[in-house]
Amino acid sequence: METSHSFVAKSEGSAQADIFSGLTVALALVPEAVAFSFVAGVSPMVGLYGAFMMCLITAVLGGRPGMISGATGAMAVVMVNLVLEGNALGGAGSHAGLQYLFFTLLMVGIFQILAGVFRLGKFIRMVPRSVMMGFVNGLAIVIFLSQLKMFQTGGEWLQGEPLWIMAGLVALTMAILYAVPKVYKKAPGALIAIISVSLLVIFNHIDTQTVLSFIQANGGSGIKAGLPTFAIPTVPFTWETLVFVVPYALILAAIGLIESLMTLSLIDELTETRGSGNRECMAQGVANFVNGMFGGMGGCAMIGQSIINITSGGRGRLSGIVAAGALLFFILFTSQYIEQIPIAALVGVMFIVVIKTFAWSTFNIMNKIPKWDVLVIVLVTVLTVKYDLAIAVICGVIISALIFAWKNALRIRARKMVDEHGIKHYQIYGPLFFASTALFLSKFDVINDPDEVIIDFQESRIMDQSAIEAINKIAALYHRAGKSVHLWHLSADCIRLIKRAEKICVVNVLEDPDYFVGIDDYRQYQENLEFESL
C-alpha cells in the first residue's frame, strides 16, 4: 500500500490539533453509535455509553495513541443474536437479552485481557501485506455502503428535492474539507465543515434529515441522558448461562481484537510509528469489562473514526480523551444542539474517510505482484464486504499461509553425486516440512543406489515433525534394502528424534547451522546443554 496514505506520514501532533480532532470525532461518533445500537437491538443510549467508555479507556490505556474505539458494526451483528436469544431465555417481556449482553461483555473483557497478558497481540505481524490491502479496501467499501443508507428514510430511497438537498449538502461538506487544508494546513477541516453546513441548514431552515430525525426514525427519542450507572448484570449465574454466554464472548473477543489490531497496524503505517498490540489487547479488555458493569454495548477500534482523527491532526492520547469527554458532554448538556446537525454533514466527512482509506495503489500494482497476492487482495475485499473483517482476515491469512507452504514445498531439491569410494551423496537444499516431504522422498532411488549412502542436510532446514518422520522413513527404506545410510549436518534436537540416530547420524558441531525444529526456544536449548554437561 504505497502511499495513498502518505498524506499523514511523519506529521507532528499538538495539543490544539488533538482537541479539534477530538471534537470532530465526537460529532461523528453520535450517529455511528446510534446506528450500531439499533443493529444490535439495544437502546441508543446503550450505544452512546459504550462509545464513550470504549473511547475514554482505550485512549488512556491503549497501545496506540490517536486510535479511536467505540461501538462497531462488526460486533453489533453478533450482539443482535445474543440479545434475541437472551430475551427468549428470560421469557416474554423480560428484556433479559440486554443483561446477558452486559454479562457477555464481562467475559469478553477477561478473554481480551488474557490475550494481552499472554502477548498474543504479536501475531498481528503474521498478517501479510496483501491481506492488509484487501482489508482496508473492503472496509472502505463497507463504510461507503453504510453511508448510502443515510440516503433512505423509512426504508425508501430519497427522491426529488430531498435527494438533491442531501446530495448538495454532502458535496458542500466534502468541498469544504478539501479546501480548508489548502488555505491553512493546521485548521480542523472536518470540524469547520460540520459547523458550516449545520449553520447553513439551521439559519436557512433547510428541510433535511438531522441527528434527531435519524434517531426518531429508528425508534429513539433523543440523545439526552445522565451519567452511566454501575450495575452488576442480573443473570442467573449457572452452568447453562456460561454455556450460552462463553461462545458469544469468544467470538466477540476475537472480532474485537482482530479489528483493533488491524486498525493499529494501519495507523502505525499512516503515522510511521509503532504501537503496542499487547497493550491494546488489555485496554480493549478493560474497556469492554467496564462496559459490562456500566451499561454500555462495548466495542473495539473504529477504523473510520481513527482515520478521521489522524487526518484531522490527532496524534496523542488527548485526542481520544477529548472525543470521549465531548461525547459525554453532548449527552449531558448540549443534546438539543447536536441533534440539529444535518446527517449530510457527517456523511460528507465519512465519504472523505472512504476516499482516504481505500488503497488506490492497488490498481497500480495489480500487474506487478504475483497473481496469488492479487487473488488474496480481491478475496479479502469481497469477504470483508459480504461477511465481516474477522472472517476475511482469518481466511486471507490461511490462504496466504497455504500459498507460502506450496511455494516452499517446491523448493526442496537434491544434488546427487558418487565419490571415488563408490558412496552416493545426496546434498539436500531447501526447507523440509509437511508440504515438501513427498517431493523429498521422491528424490531417492533406494533400489539402484550403492550399499552406502550419505544424505547431507547442511543446506536444508528441518522444520517440523513431518520432516522428522520423512527422514525416519527414508532411513528405514535403506535399512530394509540392506544398505547403510548416514545423515550429516543435522542439529542436535533433530537427532534426538531420529530413530537409530546413534548409528546413522553424524553431526559436525563446528559446521552445523544454528537452527531448531519448529519454534524451540534457543535459550532453553542452551540451558539444557549446559545442564547435561554438568
390 and 416 fall within a common domain: no
Q: pLDDT per residue over 240-266, tens digit each?
A: 999 999 999 998 998 899 889 888 988
Q: What is the pLDDT of residue 181?
A: 82
278 and 396 fall within a common domain: yes
256 and 285 fall within a common domain: yes
Residues with Cβ within 8 Å of 197's Cβ and at least 6 positions away in sequence, in order, are: 169, 172, 173, 176, 342, 344, 345, 348
Q: 448 is in which domain, residue-wise?
A: 412-533
Domain contains 471:
yes
Q: Is 467 exposed, middle or buried (0-12, 13-18, 19+ CB in 10 A)?
A: buried
134 and 209 fall within a common domain: yes
Domain contains 52:
yes
Domain contains 88:
yes
C-alpha cell at 280: 491494546
Whether the CB-CB separation of 105 and 288 falls below 8 Å is answered with yes
- How far, in Å, CA of 190 to CA of 307, rounded? 12
Share of the chain above pLDDT 70, in %: 89
- How many structural domains comprise the chain? 2
Among residues 339, 369, 401, which one ends one of the domains? 401
For residue 473, the domain's CATH number is: 3.30.750.24
- How far, in Å, CA of 78 to CA of 86, rounded? 13
Question: Does 150 have pLDDT greater than 90?
Answer: no
Q: pLDDT per residue over 399-418, tens digit each?
A: 998 998 888 888 899 999 99
Which of 320-324, 392-396, 499-503 is the most confident on average? 320-324
Domain contains 163:
yes
Domain contains 1:
no
Which of 105-119, 467-481, 493-507 is the most confident on average? 105-119
Q: Report residue 445's pLDDT band, with 50, 70 and 90 as the boundaries.
A: very high
Instruction: Please compute the mean of the pLDDT values over residues 32-58 and round it to a whole number.
Output: 86
Q: What is the pLDDT of residue 218?
A: 65
- pTM for the structure as a whole: 0.71
Question: Does 444 have pLDDT greater than 80?
Answer: yes
Q: What is the pLDDT of residue 93?
A: 64
135 and 191 fall within a common domain: yes
Please identify which residue in the block is written with the cell numbers 559446521.
Answer: 511
Q: Report residue 501's pLDDT band, with 50, 70 and 90 as the boundaries.
A: low
Q: CA 506, 507, 513 angle in degrees (round to 5)?
A: 140
390 and 425 fall within a common domain: no
Q: What is the pLDDT of residue 351?
A: 87
Domain contains 440:
yes
- How far, in Å, CA of 101 to CA of 112, rounded? 16
Question: Does 5 have pLDDT greater than 70?
Answer: no
Instruction: Characterize the bridge pairing of strands 484-488 and 505-506.
Output: parallel
Q: pLDDT per residue over 179-227, tens digit each?
A: 988 887 777 777 888 889 999 999 999 999 988 887 787 666 777 888 8
Q: How many residues does the chain have?
A: 534
Among residues 347, 382, 401, which one ends one of the domains? 401
Q: What is the pLDDT of residue 12?
A: 55
101 and 201 fall within a common domain: yes
Domain contains 8:
no
Q: What is the pLDDT of residue 147?
A: 83
79 and 140 fall within a common domain: yes
Instruction: Please compute the mean of the pLDDT values over residues 280-295 and round it to a whole number.
Output: 96
Among residues 382, 401, 420, which one ends one of the domains? 401
